[in-house]
């Protein structure tokens, strides 16, 4: 049983690796044979060299991949953390009082629908081209997504659970802290995951202006110099970060909420 | 009847806010007296208002007219020793079986140290010793209802209100749970009001079967079952009672 399960897990791991490997290999061959123009589709071997170059010397010269990476992560984390710190308490309160929800739902839907990057010019007018405007944009994007998710999470708490708690003499405070809050937690977490994704979408645009540091700036800057290899490496790094963080969040989720969906997994 | 009157339902009517005034009310004028430690089953088809009546007794819904008194005190809110078991268990999914039961004990002021022992004892009573640390999603439907019963008992209720608690279970589990409930009830005597639409469930469990009909919700039969438990499904008396209840339900 255990052997079979380990075998299954190995296959589950090997298949995506094999698919990616086959994809990269055919890309390499196609570029080598001249079917793809290297300036548009630099082969993976070239991308690997670019990666090393970016790590060692940087692009522009002196700004290494590490520092691009660090500043991008820093901006996302500040904007994201700020958005969550505001949106979670606010969303809990709005969600708990139906009247408040009805009063604010229009504004929330409106603000959420504004494409964050369309605020870029306004953000620059308000906050200049420095860090503040970038963090504002990330924060803005994350905040509204998070807020509407937290409100929904509280509104969608199963009323049966609240009724059950009332038959057990739960106070109004208990109903909120010991029933609504844990019941809403899974949806709040899902919202946090979506909001983080928004942060990564916004960052590239937010870093387009007024800076040469950051993965978004790297991608834009490379475009000006026809360095599609650099752009691609930048994209890949963003992808990997998103992937790693999503995985990390999932672990935190399982750890925080062991009652959620663990049943479908082999032996977590 | 020598037993003291426990629950007094006096001319209780219910009409939902959104219903047109021409529609028959959910509950007409229901009057019913339930004695201390009596096991009463409210039986009827869907829509006859039996669950609404149970919710009014629980204090979860307000009557439009009339009044429910428990020990001569009007019911104004849920809690206060009125334990309730819902059809879908309504267990807190983020708490283990043990913690679910402790939740109920906490609010009635059982000291933290005593809570754990009480929960363990009640889980053992409903046949769940060893499952204390399991989350609801790890338990079968029948086991979840056992936890729900243990949780209601942790309130040390004087009244146990049960809203089709076995309605979602398969037939075999259901019969097991009926026997189990009778065993628990024998150990912890309570006044029980049990809602079901199964005639057999009523016959196996009840001291008294109150049959209700819809539009407006009203009582059409109030039948005592004096047969000792455990009852056999082939007992002649029960079969006769079955006939009478079936008639009343038409």
Shortest CA gap B106–chain A (Å): 9
Let me know whether A122 and A54 are in one domain.
Answer: yes
Please tell me the predicted confidence (pLDDT) of residue A2. 57
Please tell me the predicted confidence (pLDDT) of residue A261. 60
Main-chain phi, psi angles of B10, to 5 degrees: -115, 105
Please tell me the predicted confidence (pLDDT) of residue A40. 83
B242: contact with A, CB 8 A cutoff: no
Q: For chain B, what are the domain ranges?
A: 5-81+158-249, 92-155
Let me know whether A114 and A139 are in one domain.
Answer: yes
Token digits for B144?
Answer: 């979840």
Across the A:B interface, residue pairs with CB atoms under 8 Å apart total 62
Let me know whether A55 and A135 are in one domain.
Answer: yes
Cβ distance B79 to A257 less than 8 Å, yes or no, reads no
A162: contact with B, CB 8 A cutoff: no
B58: contact with A, CB 8 A cutoff: yes
Cβ distance B107 to A170 less than 8 Å, yes or no, reads yes
Chain B residue closest in CA terms to A162: B90
A239: contact with B, CB 8 A cutoff: no
Which one of A164, A175, A255 would you mutate to disrupt binding with B, by most B Cβ within 10 Å of its Cβ?
Answer: A164
Q: For residue B60, list chain A residues with Cβ-Cβ distance below 8 A.
A: 163, 166-167
Range of the domain at A2: 1-36
Please tell me the predicted confidence (pLDDT) of residue B94. 94
- How does DSSP assign B124-161, residue by residue? HHTT-TT-TT--GGGS-HHHHHHHHHHHHHTT--SEEE
Give residue for tokens 């970060």. A241
- State how far the Cα of B232 lies from the Cα of B209, in Å rounded to an integer: 17
Shortest CA gap B26–chain A (Å): 21
Give residue for tokens 């209780």. B12
Please tell me the predicted confidence (pLDDT) of residue A88. 96
Give the strand pairing for B159-163 and B27-35. Answer: unpaired
Shortest CA gap B58–chain A (Å): 7
Picking from B60, B103, B138, the nearest residue to A168 by CB comes out as B103
Let me know whether A15 and A122 are in one domain.
Answer: no
Complex prediction ipTM: 0.89
Please tell me the predicted confidence (pLDDT) of residue A227. 87
Let me know whether A5 and A62 are in one domain.
Answer: no
Calculate mean pLDDT across residues A15-34.
90
B117: contact with A, CB 8 A cutoff: no
| Architecture of the domain defined by B5-81+158-249 | 3-Layer(aba) Sandwich (3.40)
B115: contact with A, CB 8 A cutoff: no
Give residue for tokens 């053992």. B124
Please tell me the predicted confidence (pLDDT) of residue A94. 96
Mean pLDDT in runs of 10 for chain B (250 residues)?
74 84 85 93 91 94 92 89 90 94 87 90 89 92 92 91 91 89 88 94 93 90 89 89 91
- State how far the Cα of A142 lies from the Cα of A64, in Å rounded to an integer: 28
B83: contact with A, CB 8 A cutoff: yes
Let me know whether A27 and A95 are in one domain.
Answer: no
Grade residue A243 by pLDDT with cuts at 50, 70 and 90.
confident
Cβ distance A163 to B60 less than 8 Å, yes or no, reads yes
Cβ distance A263 to B137 less than 8 Å, yes or no, reads yes
Cβ distance B60 to A161 less than 8 Å, yes or no, reads no
pLDDT digits (tens, 9 = 90+) for A89-107: 999 999 999 999 999 999 9
Let me know whether A26 and A53 are in one domain.
Answer: no
Shortest CA gap A139–chain B (Å): 31
Shortest CA gap A193–chain B (Å): 20
Let me know whether A61 and A26 are in one domain.
Answer: no
B-contacting residues in A 178-207 (Cβ below 8 Å):
178-179, 182-183, 185
C-beta of residue A72 within 8 angstroms of C-beta of residue A83? no
- Count of domains observed in chain A: 2
- How does DSSP assign A50-87, residue by residue? HHHHHHHTTTTTT--HHHHHHHHHHHHHHHHHHHHHHH
Let me know whether A27 and A120 are in one domain.
Answer: no
A4: contact with B, CB 8 A cutoff: no
Please tell me the predicted confidence (pLDDT) of residue A62. 83
pLDDT digits (tens, 9 = 90+) for B151-175: 999 998 999 999 999 988 888 889 9
Sheet with B82-85: strands ordered across: B82-85, B159-163, B191-196, B39-43, B208-213, B218-224
Picking from B80, B90, B138, the nearest residue to A263 by CB comes out as B138
Let me know whether A170 and A55 are in one domain.
Answer: yes
Let me know whether A103 and A50 are in one domain.
Answer: yes
Calculate mean pLDDT across residues A258-267.
54
Cβ distance A163 to B86 less than 8 Å, yes or no, reads yes
pTM of structure: 0.83
pLDDT digits (tens, 9 = 90+) for A112-162: 888 888 888 888 889 888 889 999 999 999 999 999 999 999 999 999 999
- State how far the Cα of B64 lies from the Cα of B16, in Å rounded to an integer: 8
- State how far the Cα of B50 lies from the Cα of B195, in Å rounded to an integer: 7
Q: For residue B165, list chain A residues with Cβ-Cβ distance below 8 A.
A: none
Token digits for A169?
Answer: 């003499």
Let me know whether A6 and A76 are in one domain.
Answer: no
Averaged pLDDT score across all residues of chain B: 90
Grade residue A4 by pLDDT with cuts at 50, 70 and 90.
low
A156: contact with B, CB 8 A cutoff: no
For chain A, percent helix, then strand, then coil, each to nearest 5?
A: 80, 0, 20
Q: Which of B61, B89, B72, B77 lies closest to B9, judged by CA?
A: B72
């Amino acid at each position: 049983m255990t052997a079979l399960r380990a075998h299954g897990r190995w296959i589950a791991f090997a298949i995506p690796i094999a698919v990616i490997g086959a994809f990269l290999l055919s890309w390499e061959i196609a570029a080598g044979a001249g079917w793809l123009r290297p300036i548009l589709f630099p082969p993976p071997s070239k991308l690997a060299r670019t990666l090393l170059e970016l790590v060692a010397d940087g692009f522009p010269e002196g700004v290494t991949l590490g520092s691009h990476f660090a500043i991008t992560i820093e901006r996302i984390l500040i904007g994201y953390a700020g958005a969550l710190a505001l949106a979670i308490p606010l969303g809990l309160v709005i969600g708990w009082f139906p009247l408040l929800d009805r009063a604010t739902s229009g504004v929330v839907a409106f603000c959420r629908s504004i494409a964050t990057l369309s605020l870029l010019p306004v953000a620059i007018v308000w906050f200049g081209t420095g860090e503040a405007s970038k963090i504002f944009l990330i924060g803005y994007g994350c905040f509204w997504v998070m807020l509407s998710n937290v409100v929904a999470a509280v509104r969608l708490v199963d009323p049966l659970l609240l009724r059950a708690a009332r038959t057990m003499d739960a106070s109004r405070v208990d109903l909120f802290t010991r029933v609504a809050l844990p019941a809403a937690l899974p949806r709040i977490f899902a919202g946090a995951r979506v909001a983080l994704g928004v942060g990564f979408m916004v960052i590239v645009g937010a870093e387009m202006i007024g800076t040469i540091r950051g993965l978004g700036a790297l991608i834009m800057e490379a475009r000006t110099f026809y360095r599609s290899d650099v752009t691609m490496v930048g994209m890949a790094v963003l992808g990997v970060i998103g992937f790693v963080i999503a995985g990390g969040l999932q672990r935190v989720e399982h750890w925080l909420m062991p009652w959620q969906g663990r049943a479908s997994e082999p032996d977590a | 009847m020598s037993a003291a009157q426990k629950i007094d339902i006096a001319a209780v009517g219910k009409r939902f806010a959104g219903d047109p005034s021409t529609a028959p009310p959910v509950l007409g004028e229901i009057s019913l007296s339930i004695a201390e430690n009596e096991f009463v089953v409210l039986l009827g088809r869907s829509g006859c208002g039996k669950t609404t009546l149970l919710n009014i007794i629980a204090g979860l819904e307000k009557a439009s007219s009339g009044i429910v008194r428990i020990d001569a005190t009007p019911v104004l809110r849920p809690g206060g020793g009125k334990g309730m078991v819902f059809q879908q268990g309504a267990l807190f999914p983020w708490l283990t079986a043990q913690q679910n039961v402790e939740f109920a004990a906490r609010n009635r002021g059982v000291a933290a140290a005593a809570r754990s022992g009480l929960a363990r004892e009640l889980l053992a009573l409903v046949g769940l010793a060893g499952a204390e640390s399991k989350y609801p999603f790890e338990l079968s439907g029948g086991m979840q209802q056992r936890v729900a019963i243990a949780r209601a008992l942790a309130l040390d209720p004087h009244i146990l209100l049960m809203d089709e608690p076995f309605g979602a279970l398969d037939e075999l589990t259901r019969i097991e749970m009926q026997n189990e409930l009778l065993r628990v009830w024998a150990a912890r005597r309570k006044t029980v009001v049990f809602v079901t639409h199964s005639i057999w469930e009523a016959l196996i469990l009840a001291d008294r079967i109150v049959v209700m009909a819809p539009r407006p919700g009203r009582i059409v039969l109030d039948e005592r079952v004096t047969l000792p438990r455990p009852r056999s499904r082939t007992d002649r008396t029960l079969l006769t009672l079955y006939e009478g209840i079936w008639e009343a339900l038409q």
